[in-house]
Amino acid sequence: GESVGLHLPTLSVQEGDNSIINCAYSNSASDYFIWYKQESGKGPQFIIDIRSNMDKRQGQRVTVLLNKTVKHLSLQIAATQPGDSAVYFCAENIRNTGKLIFGQGTTLQVKP
């Protein structure tokens, strides 16, 4: 079926290290992808997005890479901080539907 999935349920990193969170998607009609961060008890917070005509997009300390050949999306966080601890969801937009399909989430734990 069509789904967006994440490879690892939990990622544990040392403070100051770089983090890489991966996501696989299966719908070739997806034209837009978003990464969300969700802290405990809060709603998902927009981090960064990328359109299907791009391979890479950078924000503040975050980079999203899109590999359409293998339908893979990744979120890189530079110099991970304790405040980055949260669940990270990737989401894909199916063209012309206005709806997002969410992956299952990866929990990022930052060790001091």
Residue 69 binds another protein, judged by CB under 8 A:
no
Residue 49 binds another protein, judged by CB under 8 A:
yes
5, 103 Cβ separation under 8 angstroms: yes
Largest CA distance in the chain: 44
The single residue among 18, 45, 58, 67 that binds another protein, judged by CB under 8 A, is 45
Residue 77 binds another protein, judged by CB under 8 A:
no
36, 46 Cβ separation under 8 angstroms: yes
The footprint of another protein (CB under 8 A) covers 32, 34, 36, 41-46, 49, 89, 93, 98-100, 102-105
